[in-house]
């Protein structure tokens, strides 16, 4: 598992949501993590402006091709260049303009930018970095806004980051160990009578 795929300290994310009910009106949506960056490949804390690398651009194009035949009505994306570029690559196939949602940016490890991650402990609050409770709170508020309206039409696509996906897993009471978190893999998320389920869009779930 690469450094950016760590789920160490995930319990801290869950604990930050204690007592908070999450009941979105939307029963189905798609989540897409951005394509690969040099930071992902090398395992260092990434600055906000970190772009996709050449492999990440290819991954974004592959995801766009996979989603091309899928009915998407809205694309909502983090403004960080790695997510925004991925979203715009997909949007070209659907003649859509992505909508920016600043609250689904990755957790801001500001003082650690450019340093090796090693083992990323999500529950830790390093000095000079965004506190976990603040990160979880802003991401949760964003999902409540983005999923507030029921729809029986084309799907909403959310393009964001690995840490944001961990918060989403906690909100939906899903085990993060079983969630695909590779770069640029479209994930279909649906509510059923037994709760939420999640899996790669190309696979039955």
- pLDDT, tens only, 15-52: 999 888 899 999 999 999 999 999 999 999 999 999 99
What contacts 26, CB < 8 A, 6 or more positions away? 146, 147, 148, 149, 150, 151, 156
- What's the rounded Cα separation, in Å, for the pair 135 and 96? 28
Q: In what order do the strands lie in the sheet with 195-200?
A: 99-100, 72-77, 155-160, 28-33, 187-192, 195-200
pTM (two decimals) = 0.95
Q: Is the pLDDT of residue 178 over 90?
A: no
Give me the helix-helix angle, 162-171 and 132-146, nearest 10°. Answer: 70
More confident: 202 or 139:
139
- What's the rounded Cα separation, in Å, for the pair 201 and 64? 12
- What's the rounded Cα separation, in Å, for the pair 54 and 47? 18
Location of structure tokens 């983090």: 78
Phi-psi region of 64 (alpha: psi -120 to 50; beta: other; left: phi over 0): alpha
Q: What is the pLDDT of residue 92?
A: 95
Q: Is the pLDDT of residue 150 over 90?
A: no
Q: What is the pLDDT of residue 190?
A: 95
Q: What is the pLDDT of residue 21?
A: 87
Q: What is the pLDDT of residue 204?
A: 46
Q: Is the pLDDT of residue 203 over 70?
A: no
Q: What is the pLDDT of residue 19?
A: 83
Q: Is the pLDDT of residue 97 over 70?
A: yes
- What's the rounded Cα separation, in Å, for the pair 93 and 112? 36
CATH of 3-200, one of 3.20.20.70, 3.30.530.20, 3.40.190.100, 3.40.50.1240: 3.40.50.1240
Domain ranges of the chain: 3-200
Looking at every residue in the chain, the average pLDDT score rounds to 93
Q: Percent of the chain scored above 90 by pLDDT?
A: 84
- Under the banding of pLDDT at 50, 70 and 90, the label for residue 157 is very high
């Amino acid at each position: 598992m690469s450094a950016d795929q760590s789920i160490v300290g995930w319990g801290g994310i869950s604990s930050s949501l204690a007592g908070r009910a999450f009941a979105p009106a939307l029963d189905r949506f798609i989540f897409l993590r951005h394509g690969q960056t040099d930071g992902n490949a090398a395992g260092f804390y990434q600055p906000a402006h970190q772009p996709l690398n050449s492999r990440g651009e290819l991954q974004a194009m592959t995801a766009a091709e996979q989603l091309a035949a899928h009915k998407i009505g809205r694309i909502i994306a983090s403004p960080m260049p790695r997510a925004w570029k991925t979203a715009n690559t997909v949007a070209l196939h659907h003649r859509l303009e992505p909508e920016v949602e600043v609250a689904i940016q990755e957790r801001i490890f500001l003082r650690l930018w450019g340093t090796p991650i090693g083992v990323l402990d999500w529950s830790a609050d390093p000095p000079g970095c965004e506190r976990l409770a603040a990160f979880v709170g802003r991401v949760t508020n964003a999902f409540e806004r983005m999923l507030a309206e029921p729809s029986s039409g084309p799907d909403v696509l959310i393009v964001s980051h690995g840490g944001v996906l961990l918060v989403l897993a906690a909100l939906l009471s899903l085990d993060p160990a079983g969630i695909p978190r590779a770069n640029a893999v479209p994930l279909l998320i649906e509510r059923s009578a037994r709760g939420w389920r999640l899996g790669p869009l190309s696979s039955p779930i």
